Amino acid sequence: MSELFGTLPDGTEVHRWTLQRSGTRVEVLTYGGIVRSVEVPDREGRTADVVLGFAGLDGYLAHPEPYLGALIGRYANRLAGARFPLDDVVYALEPNEGPNVLHGGARGFDKRVWDAAGVEHGVRLARVSSHGEEGFPGRLDVAVTYTLDADGALRIAYEARTDAPTVVALTSHGYFNLAGSGAGSAAGHELRLAASRLTPTGEDLIPTGELREVAGSRFDFRDGRKVGTGYDHNFVLDKGVTGAPEQVAELHDPSSGRTLTVATTEPGLQLYTGDHLPAPFAPCDGIALETQHFPDSPNHPGFPSTVLRPGEVYRSETVYGFSVR
C-alpha cells in the first residue's frame, strides 16, 4: 500500500509504502529509502514499533544527521581525507565531517527521493546516481528491494551497476529499541556477534588498518553480553563475504522478550549505540547494527574491496528476523 507522506520544499512528493505479513508491519519512505517503522509483537502479543523514526517528513528534514532508518550510499561509513585512489587516479570528494566524508556526502542517498514500484510482499526503490554525484565517478544504477519473508523477516536486497570504475558500499541505518520506540534507553539489551576482530580507529573514527582481536575486551560479544554506551565500531565478521545471508548477530530485550536476528552477505557490521542522537531522542535510545564493507576500505588495500567495474553487478543482502522468547 502506498500513500502520500509529505512534500519537500521544492514540491517533490514523498510517499510511504506499508508492508505487512506474518505479524510484522513495516513502513518505507521514498525519501532516503527510510525504514520509518517496524512493528512486531512482544511475548504477550502486544505490538510496538522497534525502530526510531519521526512521525512526519519535517522531522527527517530538521534532523538529518542521525540518518534514522536511512538508505546509505554511495559509500557507507567514512572515507579518510575525502579522497580515495582507484586505477592510479585519486578522486577528491567534498568533506562533510571535518576533513572526511561520512555516509556518501552532504547529499547522499539518504537525502534523495527514489522511484518506487510494488513487488510481491514489498517495494523496490530505484534511482540513477549520475557521474560526479558527490564526487564519485561513474553513473550508478541502483535498486534496493524491501520485502517481508513468510515468517515476517525484513529482507533488504541491494543491486547496482556502473558504466565506469567506482566504489560502492550500501547499508540501512536503522536504530533498534526492542522495548519499543519511546521506551527509553536500549542499554541493557543483550547482543551476540559472530566477530572475533574489529577495525580499531583513531579519534577521527578512521580505521588504522589493524584487525584487532576482541578477546578479553568490552568488544567481545561472541558469547553475548549487555550493550552499554560508547560503541561506534566496525566488527570483522568471522564468516567474511558470502553469497547468501548468514546469521551474524542477535539482539534481545529481556523485558519484552523481543529478539532481533541479523543475517547478511557483508563482511562487517557497525555497532553504534547512538551516543550523539539529538532531541527528542537521548543517547542509546536505539542501537544501530549496520551491515557493511569496512569503513575507508578504498584507502586500505588489505580490506575487502569495494570496487565495482562495468559489466559487474554489486549485490548485497541483509535480513532482519523477529521472534520472542
Distance CA 188, CA 171 (A): 25
- Per-residue pLDDT for the chain (325 aa), expressed as one digit of tens each? 999 999 999 999 999 999 999 999 999 999 999 999 999 999 999 999 999 999 999 999 999 999 999 999 999 999 999 999 999 999 999 999 999 999 999 999 999 999 999 999 999 999 999 999 999 999 999 999 999 999 999 999 999 999 999 999 999 999 999 999 999 999 999 999 999 999 999 999 999 999 999 999 999 999 999 999 999 999 999 999 999 999 999 999 999 999 999 999 999 999 999 999 988 999 999 999 999 999 999 999 999 999 999 999 999 999 999 999 9
Q: Which residues constitute the domain of residue 196?
A: 2-324
Residue 134 is part of a domain; what is its CATH number? 2.70.98.10
pLDDT of residue 104: 98
pLDDT of residue 100: 98
Say if CB 129 and CB 117 are below 8 A apart.
Answer: no
pLDDT of residue 230: 95
Q: Which residues are catalytic?
A: 173, 290
pLDDT of residue 26: 98
pLDDT of residue 14: 98
How many Cα atoms sit within 13 Å of 295 on the Cβ side?
31
Could you give the 3-state DSSP secondary structure of residue 213? strand
Query: How many Å is the Cα radius of gyration of the chain?
Result: 18
Instruction: Say which residues have a Cβ less than 8 Å from residue 298's Cβ, sequence separation at least 6.
Output: 79, 84, 85, 86, 167, 306, 307
Domain count of the chain?
1
Distance CA 42, CA 179 (A): 8
Looking at residue 81, the DSSP 8-state letter turns out to be G
* Threshold 0.85, pTM exceeds: yes
Could you give the 3-state DSSP secondary structure of residue 95? coil
Cis status, amide bond into 78, omega within 30 of 0: no
Neighbours of 144 (CB within 10 A): 23
